[in-house]
Structures are given as C-alpha cells and as structure tokens.
Amino acid sequence: MKRLLALLAACVTALGLTGLLGPQAVAGPRAVAAAGCRVDYTVTSQWQGGFQAGVKITNLGAPVSGWTLTFALPDASQKIVQGWNATWSQSGSAVTATALDWNRTLATGAAADLGFTGSFTGANPKPTAFALNGVACTGSVEEPPPTTPGDGTPVGVNGRLHVCGVHLCNQYDRPVQLRGMSTHGIQWFSKCYNTASLDALAKDWKSDLLRIAMYVQEDGYETDPAGFTGRVNGLVDMAEARGMYAVIDFHTLTPGDPNYNLDRAKTFFASLAARNAGKKNVIYEIANEPNGVSWTAVKSYAEQVIPVIRAADPDAVIIVGTRGWSSLGVSDGSNESEVVNNPVNATNIMYAFHFYAASHKDAYRAAVSRAASQLPLFVSEFGTVSATGGGTLDRASTTAWLDLLDQLKISYANWTYSDAPESSAAFRPGTCDGGDYSSSGVLTESGTLLKSRISTPDSFPTN
C-alpha cells in the first residue's frame, strides 16, 4: 500500500531519473524523467501516513548495463518501508535503488517496473534530484490512464470473483473459466517477468491470469521473507495494471506436509491479505502440492490459514491444495470422495487439481469429471509433458484435458511461462534475455500449443 516512494525511486534509478515527486505526484499525473528515458508514474494507493507507488522506466538512450537510481526525500521523516525489483537503501533523506541481477541491463527501448511503499508524517512533499548513474534526469511524461471497469480486460469485465455452487463466478453471478500461465520459481526466473513479458502475456497471449509461484523452500521465501513478499506484491500490481487476475501461489513442495510451513504461511498471507484486500484481481493458493501427508492434515492446515486471510480480506477466492500432489488423492491411490465427505470448513474456496498430460490420463480425467459435480475445482497447475516437467509433449492427452476443462468451465494455469531448460517451458532457452515473448521463433512446442488455446476469445457472460 505504501509503495509510492519505493516504486518511483526504483524506476527512476534504473534509468537515472531526476525529478520531483510528492503530494503533487500523488495527486497528479506528472513525473520528471531524464531526456534519455521515460517515466510512467502511478500512485496505486494512499492512506493516512502512507502510500504505494509504481514507476515504469523506459530507456530511450544508449543501452544501460547496471544502474543505480538516487533521489532525495525533502523530509527526512519520510521512509521507504518496502521496495521491490531493486535493492533499496536510505540514509537520512537520500534514497538509493540498485538494479538486481535479472534487470540490470536495459536495452534502448527496454523498460523496468519498480515499486515501493513509503511512510510519512505531516505533508508528503515530492522527492527531488533524481539521477541515473549519477546523471541528472530532465523532461516529463504523462501518467497513463488507469485500468477501469468495463475496459474489456478479464478483470474489467468480471470484477471480483466468488464461488457459486461448484463454479467460479463473476460479478454477474455467472460461471466463468479463466485461462492463463504460471511463472516458474521467481527465485530462479525473475528475469522472465518484466514489462515486456507481461505485456505480451496480456495482449498477445490474451491470458486471463498470471499464477505467481513463490517457492517457500529451495532458496525461496524462507531465505528472505520481506524480499519475496515484495516481489509477489509487485507482480500482483503488474497483473492488475494489465487487467489480469493474479493467483498467489504459496509453493510448498518439499517437505510435502504444509503444516511444516504453517507459521510462515500465516505471516505471509496476513501481510498479503492486508495489503491486497481492496484489489479485485487476487486469488490466494495456500498450499501448492501437499504430498506424503493425509487429507486430514491438509484440511487442518487450511482451516488455520484461511481465517488469517479472511481477517483482512473476507471476500477473495482461496484455493486449497489436495492430497497426492493436488490430485484429489488419486496419485496416492485414493479419490475425490475423501474431500467430498470431509470438506474444508470454510466458504468461497476451491480445491486444486494438478496434472501432467503425459503421466496423468484417463483415471485422472475420470476423477475430475466425477468431482466437478460436487466440488469447486481450479487447475492451478498443469503441464503438457510428464510429471517431471520433461519428456515429449503429449498433444493428444493435453488436448483431451483442455477440452474437458473447457466443457466443465474449470479454470487453469499452465506450467510454465518461462525459458527453463525443460520441455514444459513455454519459451526456448535464452528467450528471457530478449524482449520477444510471442513469436513462433521463441516458443517451444508446448508454448505454441498453449498460446493457441489461451488466445482464443473468452466468452465471459455479463447478464
């Protein structure tokens, strides 16, 4: 919520911006930028004593490899509370934002999205003296118009979602199906999630959603809770700005018992829910793939985490993982009846089902067909290949799965919108080092198939 100063600072640093931002910046559309760069500055929210801001910096000059943004807060009582997409520091009124490894290079015409929350007492005057790599910035640009309801985007049409019966429903109480892509682990593939890639996902792929896979272990959240929380929030904002839904995935995998991360989950979701409660595009996925654990244990975890979210965000949809790597227990020799007969004691929730087309076929499709008449299901992750993420694309099984999900109006996110060296990835290796995320030359066989399915027109009912 308080990201105005941090986000502005990060973006300005990335391109070396110098200018004025403050109360007028909060209320008005102008931000000052260098002649060799453009700044699109957006205040996403402001409240008593705090604010949040986003800054998109577009490099209009020579390529930049490594950047530092500096600026001065006119009042030392102003503080950068939390920033993302840069390393932030503050000494007195002087603020510095330094590029991360994945966004340190800005080619001519390339852009960086930064963000932060800030606090202040009394007035909230503009920051001054923005500089990129020590060079003062000049010039100004207008703030782009915000996304508004009815703008034709998935969020603009459907608004805040909710569960009605066994379906995901929109603001008109009509069942809808969302189709989109999942990130890979953001600790490994952050460079794949930038202005260009999310523009492509929203505009070229016509995706309805972005699932944000935040691993808890494996060099993820547990190593830097504040940093990963900020990164997730930044991606939520980027999805929101493009009219896409954001599925926040607490990506528990090893160990498989989600109760191992119960305290971390409560901390994470308390922060996320408090910060994003006013947004229409947020869906919470509280446990990715429980495994080696009973449904009773998974249910217990869910019934402790859900109230934490509900305390701040009583209306958002929550996805609960299921036993056997979110297979409704099928991968453990069970079936959907254990959930049907012992559901989570909460409302406005859905149950996760994951599959990999080359490994999970008729028996799994039969379970989904049976369960869909009794449980609200969300396929928050699936692959076109084997359960390892590798192997040959199984076109026939993938097509059978997607046809079934379309028929049942079950929403889905494909693994993965990344250039990971595995056949489940949508992009060829090295794609995320460039700016093309849509042409046939950068797509894998899996990416080509998914883009063709996702980019077909949505049929969201509005009456």
Active-site residue set: 289, 381
Read off the tokens for 4.
């105005």
Read off the tokens for 156.
């603009």
Single-letter residue type at 160 = R
Nearest to 255 by CA among 297, 226, 318, 202: 297
CA distances from residue 124 to 25, 31, 49, 144, 428 in whole angstroms, order as listed: 10, 15, 9, 22, 46
Nearest to 309 by CA among 241, 248, 396, 391: 248
DSSP 416-440: -SS--SSTT-SB-TTGGGSS--SST
Nearest to 85 by CA among 178, 170, 207, 190: 190
Helices (H), 18-149: 23-27
DSSP 367-409: HHHHHTTTS-EEEEEEESS-TTS-S---HHHHHHHHHHHHHHT
User: Would you say 414 and 444 are in contact if contact means Cβ atoms under 8 Å apart?
Assistant: no
User: Would you say 53 and 118 are in contact if contact means Cβ atoms under 8 Å apart?
Assistant: yes
Read off the tokens for 177.
């199906």
- Would you state the torsion angle of the CA atoms of residues 433, 438, 441, 447, taken in this order, to the nearest 10 degrees? 100
For residues 245 and 330, give the distance between their C-alpha atoms in angstroms, rounded to a whole number: 29
For residues 188 and 207, give the distance between their C-alpha atoms in angstroms, rounded to a whole number: 22
Compute how many other C-beta atoms are within 10 angstroms of the C-beta atom of residue 46. Answer: 19
E strand residue ranges, 147-300: 162-164, 167-169, 179-182, 209-215, 245-251, 282-285
User: Would you say 22 and 6 are in contact if contact means Cβ atoms under 8 Å apart?
Assistant: no
